[in-house]
Amino acid sequence: MLAIRLPNLDFLSQRQRALRISAVIIGICLFSLAIFGLNRGLDFTGGTLLEISYQTPVDLAAVRKSLSDGGFNNVMVQQFGTPRDVLLRIPPVDASNDAQLSQRVMQALNAPNATPVELRRVEFVGPQVGKELVEQSGLAVLFSVIGILIYVALRFEWRFSVGAVVATIHDAIITLGVFSLLQIDFDLNVLAAVLTVIGYSLNDTIVLFDRVRENFRKVRKGTVLDIMNQSVNETMSRTIITAGTVFLVVVALYLFGGESLRGFSLALIIGVISGTYSTIYIASATAVMLGVSRADLLRTPKEALDDGRP
């Protein structure tokens, strides 16, 4: 049988150090979010975005020149994927509601070229819509966190619920923090990924807590810390394998899914790493520090757990 041989480690003894490390990382992330903020994408700022493709590799300076010749001075020009593809962004002030803007930009770009430039994508988001998207996204995050909190609180004890939410917020902040530090575009797709990270991180934490609850009922000896440790160790191989398979697919998505899913898959990669770490160190440590005890769990009626023997 092929199995990951895992030593029985005392994870919880490291909880102070883990919390300190996390506190530092979270601090850096929050600092970056406060100072640099997120590089909000078109979905949230409003404006116009054009993705264009040349038949041969193109020099960005030449693109900028033909744009300024055409009277467009505040267009952001950047490479997009291959050297033939270019992304243009025009801030919302100019784009306000000019239906013909993208056509005029294309005319300016085509002016010096013998072979026409191919327009691959145009996105225009009005300032009002951008504002609404920010609002709706905020609501989506808020309500899903509240919904999950209620569910976990109903299924477990409140200290676990708090532990799970602390671990989840930890992962969300780290994911957002990396996007802020690296100034990667934050658009609707990335937001969806952050929400998925929240779901995944909880998923992981809940599997662990499920085991903790079971062990509290089953194992009569040992301190709270012993049982927590035992549970972490028992679920460790599952934690690693699941994180591994999810990691494999999101890396495949990052490498081969194309430019438009890059931010999305990067957020998931960060989330999977952070989620696995936070499940082991943060979630249970928080529950322990809040003083979870055997009595808290035994008070809830014992579920009919069939041990499978006939």
Partner 1 sequence: MNRYPLWKNLLIVGVILVSLVLAWPNLYSQDPSIELTGARGVTVTDASRAEIQAVLETAGVPLKNIALRDGDKLLARFANASEQLRGQEAIEQALSTRYRTALTLAADVPRWMTAIGLKPMNLGLDLRGGIHVVIDVDLEAALEQALERNLADMRTQLRDKKIRYLTLAREGEQVVATFNDAETRDAGVKVLTRNAPDLVVMTSASGERFLAQLSLSPTEQRQIKNFALEQNITTLRNRVNALGIAEPSIARQGERRIVVQLPGAQDPGRLKEILGATATLEYRLVDTEGSVAAAVEGKVPVGSKLYYERDGRPILLKRRVIVTGDQITDAAAGFDNQSGTPTVFVNLDGQGARRMRDMTSENVGKPMAVVFIENRTTTSMVDGKPVKTTRKVEEVISVATIREPFGARFQTTGLDSSAEAHNTALLLRSGALAAPIQIVEERTIGPSLGQDNIDQGLFSVLIGLGLVVVFMGVYYRVFGMIANAVLLLNLVMIIAVLGALGATLTMPGIAGMVLTIGMAVDANVLIFERIREEIRIGNSPQASIAAGYEKALSSIIDANVTTLIAALMLFSFGTGPVKGFAVTLTIGLITSMFTAISCSRAAINALYGGKRLKTLPV
Q: Report the nearest approach of partner 1 to the CB of residue 69 (Å).
A: 21
Q: Taking CB under 8 A as the rule, does residue 219 contact partner 1?
A: no
Picking from 9, 3, 11, 10, the residue whose alpha carbon sits closest to that of residue 279 is: 11
Q: Report the nearest approach of partner 1 to the CB of residue 12 (Å).
A: 21
Q: Report the nearest approach of partner 1 to the CB of residue 55 (Å).
A: 12
Binding flags for partner 1, 224-243, as an x/- string (CB under 8 A): ----------xx-xx--xx-
Q: Which DSSP helix (H) or strand (E) runs through 242?
A: helix 224-256
* Identity of the residue, 64 or 155, whose beta carbon is nearer to partner 1 in the bound complex: 155
Q: Report the nearest approach of partner 1 to the CB of residue 23 (Å).
A: 25
- Candidates 173, 176, 266, 268; binder of partner 1 (CB under 8 A) is 268
User: According to CB under 8 A, which residues from 126 to 155 bind partner 1?
Assistant: 126, 128-129, 133, 136-137, 139-141, 143-144, 147-148, 151-152, 155
Output the six-digit token pair for 3.
């199995």
The DSSP secondary-structure symbol of 282 reads I
Q: Taking CB under 8 A as the rule, does residue 65 contact partner 1?
A: no
Taking CA 63 as the corner, what is the angle to CA 112 and CA 38, rounded to the nearest 5 degrees? 155
Picking from 284, 282, 291, the residue whose alpha carbon sits closest to that of residue 21 is: 282
Q: Report the nearest approach of partner 1 to the CB of residue 267 (Å).
A: 11
Q: What is the C-alpha to C-alpha distance for residues 297 and 294, in angstroms, rounded to an integer?
A: 6
> Which phi-psi region, left, alpha or beta, contains residue 202 (left: φ > 0; alpha: ψ -120 to 50)?
alpha
User: According to CB under 8 A, which residues from 87 to 106 bind partner 1?
Assistant: 93, 96-100, 102-103
Q: Taking CB under 8 A as the rule, does residue 7 contact partner 1?
A: no
- Candidates 31, 55, 120, 293; binder of partner 1 (CB under 8 A) is 120
Q: How many residues bind partner 1 (CB under 8 A)?
A: 85
Picking from 64, 272, 282, the residue whose alpha carbon sits closest to that of residue 167 is: 282
User: According to CB under 8 A, which residues from 159 to 188 bind partner 1?
Assistant: 188
Which CA distances in Å does 291 have to 165, 239, 247, 296, 297? 16, 25, 33, 10, 12
Helices (H) and strands (E) in the chain, counts: 12, 6
- Candidates 202, 269, 283, 285; binder of partner 1 (CB under 8 A) is 202
The SS3 call for residue 52 is strand
Q: Taking CB under 8 A as the rule, does residue 79 contact partner 1?
A: no
User: According to CB under 8 A, which residues from 10 to 29 bind partner 1?
Assistant: none
Q: Report the nearest approach of partner 1 to the CB of residue 231 (Å).
A: 12
Picking from 10, 11, 25, 67, the residue whose alpha carbon sits closest to that of residue 178 is: 25
Q: Report the nearest approach of partner 1 to the CB of residue 225 (Å).
A: 22
